[in-house]
Chain A
Amino acid sequence: MLLDGKVPSGPIKEKWDKHRFELKLVNPANKRKFDIIVVGTGLAGGSAAATLGELGYNVKAFCFQDSPRRAHSIAAQGGINAAKNYPNDGDSIWRLFYDTVKGGDFRAREANVYRLAQISNHIIDHCVAQGIPFARDYGGLLANRSFGGAQVSRTFYARGQTGQQLLLGCYSSLMRQVAAGKVTMYPRREMLDVVIVNGHAKGILVRNLITGQLERHAADAVVLATGGYGNVFFLSTNAMGSNVTAAYRAYLKGAFFANPCFTQIHPTCIPVHGTYQSKLTLMSESLRNDGRVWVPQKADDKRPPQQIPENERDYFLERKYPSFGNLVPRDVASRNAKQQCDAGKGVGSTKLAVYLDFADAIKRDGRAVIERKYGNLFEMYEKITGEDPYTTPMMIYPAVHYTMGGLWVDYNLMSNIPGLFVIGEANFSDHGANRLGASALMQGLADGYFVLPYTIGGYLAGTPKLNPATSSPEFEASERAVQAQVNKLLSIKGQRTVDDFHRQLGLIMWEYCGMSRNNAGLEKAKGLIQNLRAEFWQNVTVPGNEKDFNQSLERAGRVADFLEFAELMIIDALERQESCGGHFNEAYQTPENEALRNDEKYCHVAAWEYKGTGKAPELHKEPLVFENVHLTQRSYK
């Protein structure tokens, strides 16, 4: 089946305006008659819940953390892009649109990206009005910095904590609506099912994580803003609790999952140092502005870095990409680091790291300048590793950071299930096969503040009202199924812990479905995952009981879903016989080892439909049409 993204007709610059006019409206007095469920309270979910409350809808917002302020959007460091062109350096909505489409290696939906660029400016206006303390120049106007290899300075930032400040802004708006009685907040709840009534999403089933009680919630529409699935790799820069469960359970109920194999590996993370490791910490991309990446020229060089003379070092990014040097995009930098380590030139005790050296920058600008620019990052690095990056080169290695894939949505951000909307990282829409730096925050807030509040009105106004009861058979069935899974997990009482399985799954995914992939490896991984999943359901042990605060049980449910979802990723990666952005299949590369797209066969969104346990999912394609941007080979030489 060919999927219709419902992109409005007309010139790209007018699509969103025209569409907003054509969308049906809900009368202001009628809005209070509609209930909307929002799952997840990060930038996308938090902003959506707050804005829907402001408009007058009754909102129920859910998060698994103890407070909406904890969502992992909070950890974004660098900044948020907008086409304000305040620095007068030639930026425009069109340029932001173009850069994002190209950066995504031409696998995003053009109309969505253009809308994102258009809205980007309103986001900054709104965030400043909310009291977010963005960095400013001496004159009191907003400061910008360049980011992620962009040729203009369009990134707004609040020190290295932009995500935190934007999220707290969102959270404050959300709390204001809670106080106004328009949003009811349900923290420490995990969504375990979407309830479909008459083909429409009309509710969810959640587990109260403190009491263990299963709760039913009905509404006129359901919004998923549940983030990405990077933790399928076990080790990632995601928070410990980030998971695919909500999105995957929607998939099980018929929502299509799009491009699951598109994952982003961030080049500058602190390397893994032991098997006990629980997560990876990102060091801002901005470090590559001054740091030089190198490895020893000869393999297995055990000398400390200071003793390796200049002529025995290989500054491989500068050597291979003379014009972009250390500032190549994330996917390129990551792959090159991996190649060096695969060739045995990696450094550190695990040999899975490369140096990021500031010695030249310190010599050139002085320690004080470097300290002012990166002091907090250096401090963080020292806290974790115990080494001083002012005197010893940092060691970095790529780590899973963001997932471009997600539930399929149309131009209205609605999935193929009517009434089920998906926003933020949880959907697939705007970043194609690779996300540019400082664009995730932009997308989350665009969806929540300025897109969904319009489009959901169109759905609600154009659909007969159902008023489903939580006592309906659909809710009954949903609760029975969820209860059965909980019971099953607690009853196995095997020999291996949940984390143990998760860690093994992560190793398989990282090895065969990570930075670079090949068909044989993917096939092998598929078998390994199936075996691991079978073992999980035989041999996992989940202590405690269900009517209790039981963190092992929480994790068990999430890992069970990761074990199934991982296979979907593999299937998608195998189907896409090309390389693009974050998906690099070794069989498809240019002579210079760059990703080689196949636009004739794969210029589409791959959306997968669940067909039942043990059955292969069915592929649906949404063709990607580029009317405004020419498809070209990315080059950073």
Chain B
Amino acid sequence: MSKHINLTLKVWRQKNQKEKGHFETISAPDISTEMSFLEMLDVVNEKLTLAGKEPIAFDHDCREGICGMCGAVVNGRPHGALKGTTLCQLHMRHFNDGDTIAIEPFRAMAFKIIKDLTVDRSAFDKIIQAGGYISVNAGGAQDANALPVPQDKAELAMDAAQCIGCGACVAACPNAAAMLFVSAKVSQFALLPQGRPEAARRAIAMVREMDRQGFGNCTNEAECEAECPKQISITNIARLNREFFKASFGSAVK
């Protein structure tokens, strides 16, 4: 049943990448518990706008948990405390009347803040550019059923391929490492026969690019797995490590 609650928000405000940010306390009265978290922010923004203030900038698009554009650290947890959920899917019924909610952007050296809660995640695109693809041009493919793929392998590949590239793994990692993201893409292709011809080059190139982008090093804290809205497993990280060692010590790729 819907009810209305009063909240206090402590929101990170930062005009742009260069200026220093700070927390601003904003009251959010009369919030319906049926709202999504982002709808709550919409309502707050409408009020700020009418009061002549600047609304809170935050990224969002599909609002159904698949585009990966939204995300903030809510009360210390990327995408909020609910498991397997993006911020747009989190609903206000999980909060109580009188709560104070701290909202911060995803923080990492590789994710520069653009404004308020909006961060630049183009480092992820750069990593994919380094090798997160299969080199096949349109038009040259054989019949789709010419290459059978064992069902369990296809399912495992799909588990990894679900990654939405939101960056919560980086935000959650005590070291701001991007290993879960990289491992999901490397695993998807490593598990499929189509991906094998380039597997060695891919693993090495993507790991090097990840390092170049300034992400931290994985220390197997497993916070990424616990926060991933698509619940991608760290077994993918182990697979990435295997692929990387195989490529580094067992292939001719330098």
A71 and B165 alpha carbons, distance in the complex (Å): 13
- CB of A66 within 8 A of CB of B194, answer no
A131 and B164 alpha carbons, distance in the complex (Å): 16
- CB of B162 within 8 A of CB of A161, answer yes
Whether a CB of chain B sits under 8 angstroms from the CB of A489 is no
Q: How far is the CB of A169 from chain B (nearest CB, A)?
A: 9
Which chain A residues lie closer than 8 Å to B69 at the CB level?
Answer: 65-66, 70
- CB of A133 within 8 A of CB of B150, answer no
Encoded as 1 (CB less than 8 Å from any B CB) or 0, chain A from 516 to 553 comes to: 00000000000000000000000001011000110110
Which chain A residues lie closer than 8 Å to B239 at the CB level?
Answer: none
A54 and B137 alpha carbons, distance in the complex (Å): 6
If A276-B35, A541-B49 touch, does A239 touch B154 (CB 8 Å cutoff)? no
Which chain B residues lie closer than 8 Å to A551 at the CB level?
Answer: 55, 57
Whether a CB of chain B sits under 8 angstroms from the CB of A1 is no
- CB of B165 within 8 A of CB of A549, answer no
Q: How far is the CB of A157 from chain B (nearest CB, A)?
A: 11
Residues in B43-79 with C-beta less than 8 Å from chain A: 43, 46, 48-50, 52-55, 57, 59-69
Closest 8 CB pairs of A and B: A140-B148, A172-B133, A129-B141, A125-B141, A133-B158, A133-B157, A128-B144, A179-B129
Whether a CB of chain B sits under 8 angstroms from the CB of A171 is yes
Whether a CB of chain B sits under 8 angstroms from the CB of A178 is yes
- CB of A130 within 8 A of CB of B61, answer no
A54 and B138 alpha carbons, distance in the complex (Å): 8
- CB of A131 within 8 A of CB of B52, answer no
Encoded as 1 (CB less than 8 Å from any B CB) or 0, chain A from 52 to 76 comes to: 0010000000000111111110110
Chain-B contact segment, one of A146-154, A277-285, A309-317, A430-438 = A277-285
Interface residue tally for chain B (C-beta within 8 Å): 78
Whether a CB of chain B sits under 8 angstroms from the CB of A591 is no
Partner of B55, one of A132, A165, A281, A543: A543
A25 and B34 alpha carbons, distance in the complex (Å): 57
Whether a CB of chain A sits under 8 angstroms from the CB of B174 is no
A sample of 17 inter-chain contacts (CB < 8 A) reads: A65-B67, A66-B69, A70-B68, A74-B67, A84-B144, A126-B136, A140-B148, A161-B162, A172-B128, A176-B129, A349-B2, A383-B82, A499-B46, A500-B46, A543-B48, A549-B115, A549-B118
Most buried by B among A66, A279, A543: A66
Q: How far is the CB of B162 from chain A (nearest CB, A)?
A: 7
If A125-B142, A137-B151 touch, does A131 touch B195 (CB 8 Å cutoff)? yes
- CB of B34 within 8 A of CB of A65, answer no
Whether a CB of chain B sits under 8 angstroms from the CB of A185 is yes
Which chain A residues lie closer than 8 Å to B43 at the CB level?
Answer: 276
- CB of A134 within 8 A of CB of B125, answer no
Smallest Cβ-Cβ distance to B137: which chain A residue: A54
